[in-house]
Every structure is written in structure tokens, then in C-alpha cells.
């Protein structure tokens, strides 16, 4: 709270020509400016505060700890923040802003494309607020400069973020994620990107990459045609009111390029991993030529005895003995050579049965029955023969985690079956981990 205290000058007024108040402390002149809208100073000082407080707890008497530790921690961190860390990182932001201005005006459409590519990552740090001083100057001298390129680039970025979210909306089966995407996607197209960027794209990663590429394409186009803004406004689809009327056609084309690129790339990246990965798993299983007495890891990850499951029912072997695997990715293959006996309607569990009667339950995630099958895609049918290592399903680990569920895969022998371990800990997918005996 000290970094945004109301007695400090608001950070959004910094660099606009307003008089900056200062403190005179120990002969030093320190600017009394807040850090609204910044991220780097907050992250750095939060880390320092946590470390300092931990050390103070260790050396302070218990009778004084509650009183002196918070006081000393805030006092020291506040002094360091306003004396060194804050101004240094703010200066870094200013240098970045002026560097981008040079890049844009010196390299033309290449500079514009690079600015568009890095605009979203800069927003994540909060240093985009350093652009206010440059944009204010560009608009004040519009008769000479022609206007602001920053607003135009921000518009390309915002619509690209929105289009990426709409692509997620079109491809996901998670009802909660769909609800978030529909609201945040439209909001981003209208100029407010925080819900889209932080709530969807960054969490899923690939939509964010697609969005910054889309922003780069659109920004390169508008830079090539010297599209400029003559006023501030909502950076997105409503941005036409801030653009020179003569530039409206090129501005519209730039928006379209940003949106189409981000949407298509997000769509492709969302669909690509599943089929290629499934083919690799199957080829690996065929290469291993796994026999009927071998049980393999259903996914890449860490495999442990079932007693280490987070679920009490599985941990206490109420449904049978087996193992638990904490997966690194969402691809799930068959652990044994068997027939698919059943597939739960909610797609979170698959039952297998071997020719000799050995039965196995593959339970994907804990409490995932409540997700109504949204994070799962099944590749097999009931009654189908499957080989150990053959793809069975795909789990969307991100959706499962967002729902507050564990993604662990529990594999249980629901019929009493003897087995011995051949591998534990970190394993590759389709790697042999158990040797099975006969049904008891």
C-alpha cells in the first residue's frame, strides 16, 4: 500500500509536465511519486520484503517479533523503494519508451512490427505507462509529428488479444472457460485487454503467442502506411474516432490482419499437439513390442505407489491396489494389453479387462467427475482391443487445475492381481513400470 499511498503524486501524472513533489532526507532529494500501474517495482520489492521479514523473524525475540518485524520491514523496504529500486526501474521504463520511439521512426514497418510484437510483454511489466510522456508530446506536436503511433499499435495488440480469446472460445469444451472467453474477448476488442490477457491467454500460453504475432503483423502494416492517431481514445475497434480520417481504410485492414492472424494461429496451435503426439506414442508402443505381463506408464510424469495418491479412497486401496502417476502432459495411453470394458459417461475413467480376467480402472484426475467430461477427449470405444502404449484419451491439464482438481492418474487393479515394480519416480510415456502376475 505504501507504493500507491494517496499522499504520493499519482504515477499517471508523472512525465506530463506536472510539478513533482520531493522529500529532502539525509541530504537526498527523493521524488514522492507513486507506482500505480507498474509491476516490476512491486515484484522486486515484494521479493525483498519477504526475504527481509523471514530473516527478522529468525533473529528477533518472540516477545518483540509481532511489533518490530513489520515496522522494520516496511521502513527499510519503503526507504529502498523510493531511494533506489523504484526510480531505477521507472528510468528503465523511460529508456524503453524512448528506445521504441527511435526503433519505430528509424526502421519503418520493421520497427513497427517489432513494437507490435513486444507491446503485450511490455504491458505485462507495467512499463507501457512510460509511453504516456511520449504520446502526450506526439499529440501536442501533431502539426509536426502527424500524430501518435503508440495508440495505433495498442489497437493492433488489443484486437489480437481479443481474437485469440475468441479462438479459444470456439475450440474449448469447458463451459466455465467459454463464459470467461465470451466476456473478455469482446472486452479486449473494445480496448480493455486485462481480462483476456491475464485470465485466458497467458494461462493457456499458446493464445498469447498467437496474439503477439497477430499484433506484429497488423502493426507492421499500419507502420508501412504511416497510420497515426490524432487523439486518445479506446484502443481497439472504437479506435477509428482517434485516427486521421484519411487513414481509416489502412487502420481497418491492420485491425483485420491482427485479428485473423491471432485467431487462425490460436486455432491451429490448439488443434495441432493432439494428433501428432498420439502418433508418436503409438509408434513408440509398437517399437517396444510390449507383452501381456508388462504394465507401462500411461503418461510421462512421476509414478508412485497408490498409497501416495491425494484421494483417500484410492490411497487406502478401497477399490484395489495399483499406482498413481502425476502427469507432465495430457496424453494418456493404455497401461496394458486389454479390451476396453467401459467408458464413464463423464469420460474421466476407463475400465480395461485382460483375457485372463485381470481388470484395471484408469481414473483421470481427482474429483473430475464434476467437470462433466469437459477436459477429456476419448480416442477408443467400448469393446475395442488396445495395446499397451496405445492412446486412450487426452486430458486438458490446464482446465483441470483451473477447476481446483488434481490431475493425477490413478490406475487400479480392481481384481486382485499380483505385480512387482520395475520402475518408479520419473518415467517416460509407455515405459514399463510393472510386471504382472495372474489374477488371484
Rounded mean pLDDT of 324-350? 94
Domain ranges of the chain: 2-105, 141-273, 289-439
The pLDDT of residue 285 is 47
Tens of pLDDT, residue by residue over 270-328, are 765 444 444 444 444 444 567 888 999 999 999 999 999 999 989 999 899 999 999 99
The pLDDT of residue 124 is 79
Q: Which three cell numbers stand for residue 221?
A: 502494416
The pLDDT of residue 283 is 45
| CA neighbor of 150 nearest in space, from 79, 228, 220 | 228
Most confident region among 89-98, 378-387, 429-438 by mean pLDDT = 378-387
pTM confidence score: 0.51
Confidence class of residue 226 from pLDDT cuts 50, 70 and 90?
A: confident
| CA neighbor of 219 nearest in space, from 255, 192, 193 | 255
Tens of pLDDT, residue by residue over 372-405, are 999 999 999 999 999 999 999 999 999 999 888 9
Helix axes 131-140, 149-171, angle to 10 degrees: 130
H or E element: which one contains 294?
strand 294-296
User: 102 versus 56: which is more confidently predicted?
Assistant: 56
The pLDDT of residue 272 is 56
Rounded mean pLDDT of 185-214? 89
CA distances from 109 to 158, 245, 250, 396 (A): 19, 21, 13, 39
- Beta strands 391-395 and 331-333 are antiparallel
Rounded mean pLDDT of 342-366? 93
Average pLDDT, the chain: 84
Distant-in-sequence, close-in-space partners of 255: CB < 8 Å, separation ≥ 6? 155, 156, 159, 218, 237
CB 411 within 8 A of CB 297: no
Which residue is listed with cell 519505430? 104
Most confident region among 9-18, 92-101, 301-310, 431-440 by mean pLDDT = 301-310
CATH class of the domain whose range is 289-439 = mainly beta
Amino acid at each position: 500500500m505504501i507504493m500507491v499511498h494517496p499522499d504520493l503524486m499519482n504515477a499517471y501524472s508523472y512525465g506530463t509536465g506536472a510539478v513533482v513533489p520531493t522529500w529532502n532526507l539525509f541530504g537526498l532529494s527523493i521524488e514522492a511519486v507513486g507506482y500505480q500501474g507498474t509491476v516490476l517495482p512491486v515484484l522486486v520489492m515484494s521479493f525483498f520484503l519477504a526475504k527481509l521479514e523471514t530473516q527478522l523473524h529468525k533473529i528477533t525475540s518472540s516477545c518483540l517479533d509481532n511489533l518490530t518485524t513489520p515496522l522494520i520491514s516496511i521502513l527499510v523496504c519503503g526507504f529502498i523503494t523510493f531511494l533506489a529500486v523504484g526510480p531505477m526501474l521507472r528510468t528503465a521504463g523511460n529508456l524503453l519508451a524512448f528506445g521504441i520511439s527511435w526503433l519505430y521512426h528509424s526502421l519503418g514497418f520493421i520497427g513497427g512490427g517489432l513494437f507490435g510484437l513486444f507491446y503485450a510483454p511490455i504491458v505485462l511489466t507495467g512499463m507501457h505507462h512510460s509511453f504516456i510522456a511520449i504520446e502526450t508530446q506526439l499529440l501536442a506536436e501533431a502539426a509536426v509529428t502527424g500524430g501518435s503511433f503508440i495508440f495505433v499499435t495498442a489497437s493492433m495488440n488489443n484486437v489480437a488479444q481479443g481474437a485469440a480469446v475468441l479462438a479459444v472460445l470456439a475450440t474449448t469444451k469447458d463451459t466455465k472457460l467459454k463464459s470467461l472467453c465470451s466476456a473478455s474477448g469482446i472486452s479486449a476488442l473494445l480496448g480493455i485487454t486485462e481480462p483476456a490477457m491475464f485470465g485466458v491467454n497467458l494461462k493457456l500460453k499458446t493464445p498469447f503467442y498467437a496474439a503477439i504475432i497477430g499484433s506484429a503483423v497488423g502493426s507492421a502494416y499500419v507502420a508501412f502506411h504511416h497510420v497515426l492517431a490524432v487523439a486518445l481514445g479506446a484502443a481497439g475497434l472504437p479506435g477509428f474516432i482517434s485516427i486521421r480520417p484519411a487513414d481509416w481504410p489502412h487502420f481497418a485492414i491492420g485491425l483485420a490482419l491482427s485479428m485473423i492472424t491471432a485467431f487462425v494461429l490460436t486455432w491451429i496451435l490448439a488443434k495441432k499437439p493432439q494428433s501428432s503426439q498420439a502418433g508418436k506414442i503409438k509408434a513408440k508402443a509398437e517399437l517396444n513390442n510390449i507383452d501381456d505381463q508388462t504394465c507401462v506408464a500411461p503418461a510421462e510424469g512421476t509414478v508412485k505407489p497408490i498409497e501416495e495418491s491425494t484421494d483417500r479412497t484410492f490411497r487406502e486401496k478401497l477399490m484395489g491396489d495399483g499406482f498413481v502417476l502425476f502427469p507432465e502432459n495430457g496424453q494418456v495411453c493404455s497401461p496394458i494389453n486389454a479390451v476396453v470394458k467401459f467408458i464413464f459417461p463423464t469420460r474421466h475413467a476407463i475400465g480395461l479387462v485382460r483375457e485372463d480376467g485381470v481388470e484395471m480402472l484408469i481414473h483421470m484426475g481427482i474429483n473430475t467427475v464434476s467437470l462433466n467430461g469437459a477436459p477429456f477427449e476419448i480416442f477408443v470405444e467400448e469393446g475395442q482391443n488396445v495395446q499397451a502404449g496405445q492412446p486412450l484419451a487426452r486430458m486438458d491439464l490446464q482446465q483441470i487445475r483451473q477447476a481446483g482438481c488434481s490431475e493425477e492418474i490413478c490406475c487400479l487393479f480392481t481384481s486382485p492381481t499380483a505385480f512387482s515394480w520395475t520402475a518408479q519416480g520419473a518415467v517416460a510415456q509407455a515405459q514399463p513400470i510393472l510386471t504382472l502376475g495372474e489374477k488371484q
